[in-house]
Amino acid sequence: MATYGYARVSSVSQSLTIQQEALKAFGCEVIRAETYTGTKVEGRTELETLLQFARAGDRIVVTRIDRLARSIADLSGIVKRMEAAGVILVAIEQPIETSTPAGRCFLQMLGVFAEFETNLRRERQMEGIAKAKAEGAFKGRKPSIDATRVRELAASGLGGTAIARELNVSRASVYRLLGVA
């Protein structure tokens, strides 16, 4: 039975060091770490490597479950994969160990709170953006395509593919601007 650690931060401005040190102190033989958002599982190659590599009786250890997932659906999917393989999930800073009924119960409760926190953060962000737009401080990103130029080229007889090639943009962007379905 092996003990593997998983550390994750969301952005390059954050440090993995504290998590890695805690996992090492816990006794993790191998620690996989990555910088990637926790709001989705796709693209998290280090996590995927651990999930594929771990065998029955092994433990995958995280410092907190929010390092593993930020939504109930993702957390549930990850835990189901681990359980199907006979792998135990342990969270060092929380009383979670999926080999016990109490640990599984606490895992589900914390998963609900992690998703709630993510939704609150998203809501606050959207409120801030709406306020900034209303005050004229937020205009979004600059357009990546010159709408006037697209219409001029279309009026001159060029098709969507030719316009896209000319302006080095996607055909979908051209068709969206021209209102073509």
- How does strand 96-97 pair with strand 88-91? antiparallel
Q: How far is CA 94 from CA 15, 75, 110, 167, in A?
A: 20, 15, 9, 53
Are 26 and 96 contacting, i.e. CB atoms less than 8 angstroms apart? no
Show the CA angle centred on residue 63, arms to residues 51 and 122, nearest 5°: 90
Beta strands in the chain (DSSP E): 3-9, 30-35, 59-62, 88-91, 96-97
Closest among 86, 87, 53, 51 to 69, alpha carbons compared: 51
Residues known to be catalytic: 10
